[in-house]
């Protein structure tokens, strides 16, 4: 399980953690410990739940169209090919110097 500042939690995970405290009667510290997460994060989620705020601020991402996916794939391939070309140029220059 990933830990640390860059750990991402799904809305479902957040809701389940909050319900363990609010509906399950478990302590916040016990739930945070069992889920291997910060008790401060859980406290923030519980605070928001009690105020009726959504667990996640950002809007759900829109689905990517087939065309956008293809453009992304082609950009990645293009970057890879450019890198390979640079490596080959350096190797050719190295071997040309060695043959002199």
Residue % of the chain over a pLDDT of 70: 87
pLDDT at 1: 45
pLDDT tier, 60 (very low <50, low <70, confident <90, very high otherwise): low
- For the chain, the structural domain boundaries read 11-51, 62-100
Which residues, 6 or more positions from 72, have their beta carbon under 8 angstroms from its beta carbon? 64
Where do runs of H (alpha helix) occur along 23-65?
28-34, 39-51
């Amino acid at each position: 399980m990933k830990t640390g500042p860059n750990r991402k939690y799904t809305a479902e995970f957040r809701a389940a953690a909050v319900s363990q405290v609010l509906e399950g009667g478990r302590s916040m510290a016990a739930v945070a410990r069992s889920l291997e997460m910060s008790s401060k994060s859980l406290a923030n989620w519980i605070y928001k739940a009690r105020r009726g705020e959504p667990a996640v601020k950002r809007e759900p991402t829109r689905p990517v169209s087939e065309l956008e996916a293809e453009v992304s794939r082609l950009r990645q391939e293009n970057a890879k090919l450019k890198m390979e070309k640079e490596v080959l140029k350096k190797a050719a220059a190295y071997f040309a110097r060695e043959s002199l």
